[in-house]
Structure 1
Amino acid sequence: MLDLKLPASVRISGYASVFSKPDLSGDRVMRGAFAASLLTHAGRPLPMLFGHETVEPIGIWDRVIEDGRGLFVQGRIMTGNARADRIASLVTEGALTGLSIGYRVRRSQPRPNGGRDLTELDLWEVSIVAFPMLRDARLSLTQSHSRS
């Protein structure tokens, strides 16, 4: 068996949502949709999940902001258990690059050709996924922090 020496945390960042782009179901997140939710989470890290599985978070999102492009996130996969180590390895090797948001819709408008314009969302979590609903929701490896 290959013995991988993983750092204490693997830092990642990316866009969990990109404004005005339709996802595979036709939904579009509109600029400002996260503003109210982000105010309620101010100062608290947001859970990082794998595939929206809530039982065992794999890390935390230290920074979650809306900018001109979308919902930008920066966080850490916390290694040290088999599940997080496996996911961190897959991210480090480029096999997992998708991000997906977990949310509740507060306000939306139907779109003429299907889907919705999501204008206010209550953000619950951001997950690392293999296949994001929004193709542009991608992460990148930022850096790794070694164990002391």
Structure 2
Amino acid sequence: MAAPEIKRARLPLAHTDAAGVIEGYASLFGVADDGRDIVMAGAFARSLARRGASGVKMLWQHDATEPIGVWTSIVEDTKGLKVAGRLDLSVARAREALSLIRGGAVDGLSIGFRAKNARTDKKSGLRRLLEIDLLEISVVTFPMQTLARISAVKKAPIQTGASRDAALLRLQMQQAALRFQHRLQSLQSNHL
């Protein structure tokens, strides 16, 4: 089986919110990227029908050991692969990613995939990707496809009932862990 390939798309963020909800394009159709690949309209259709948004992972820098959130919507439209997702702010790396995105230090999206059907033009050297098995979409430092852009940063939906209670409990536990860590550091520095 072929190793997954990676394609990056620009994700400049002028604004963000505390909820970590992002929306934009991870890939544009008909546009050559820096790797001389062109993703064709419909290339993701079979993969998305099989996997859905929940089957495509949101990673940090293509590192499978660092999931940072979930994609809540991934669809092909006339422009490209439109995505919406939510960083999981109970994960330290996701909080770091949000901070870096806000500061403009990280501004890319990148797709990890396997090419199922591709044709290379011998004269131009461009490879047309006709069918892609989409595995993951990452937040990255260096994107390859420079024309795809984020279109909006939205607030997370208001949580109700059990989901709000679980989120509140998670935040309380995080705060307690931070307080314990600070106390422990204080005790260690007093004994040195």
Which of the five TM-score ranges fits, normalised by the shorter chain? 0.7 to 0.9
Q: Residues 97, 141 of structure 1: CA spacing in aligned structure 2 closer, same or farther, 3 A cutoff?
A: farther
The SS at the match of 2:100 is: helix
**Of Structure 1 and Structure 2, which has the larger fraction of its residues in strand?**
1
What is the TM-score with the length of structure 2 in the denominator?
0.68
**Matched residue, 2:101:** 91
RMSD: 2.0
| Relative contact order higher in (CA < 8 Å, ≥ 6 apart) | 1
**Matched residue, 1:117:** 128
Counterpart of 1:92, as a letter, is R
Q: Could you list the runs of 5+ residues in structure 1 that have no partner in the other structure?
A: 1-5
**Of Structure 1 and Structure 2, which has the larger fraction of its residues in helix?**
2
Tell whether 2:57 aligns with 1:47. Answer: yes
Tell whether 2:146 aligns with 1:135. Answer: yes
Question: Equivalents in 2 of 1:137, 1:99: separation in Å?
Answer: 8
Counterpart of 1:82, as a letter, is A
Residue 69 of structure 2 is aligned with which of 59, 80, 83?
A: 59
Superposition deviation, residue 93 in structure 1: 2.8
Asked whether the equivalents of residues 98 and 139 of structure 1 are also in contact (C-alpha less than 8 Å), the reply is no
- Radius of gyration: which is bigger? 2
- Report which stretch shifted further, 88-97 or 25-34: 88-97
Asked whether the equivalents of residues 61 and 76 of structure 1 are also in contact (C-alpha less than 8 Å), the reply is yes
Q: How many residues align?
A: 142
Superposition deviation, residue 134 in structure 1: 0.4
**Percent of residue pairs identical:** 42
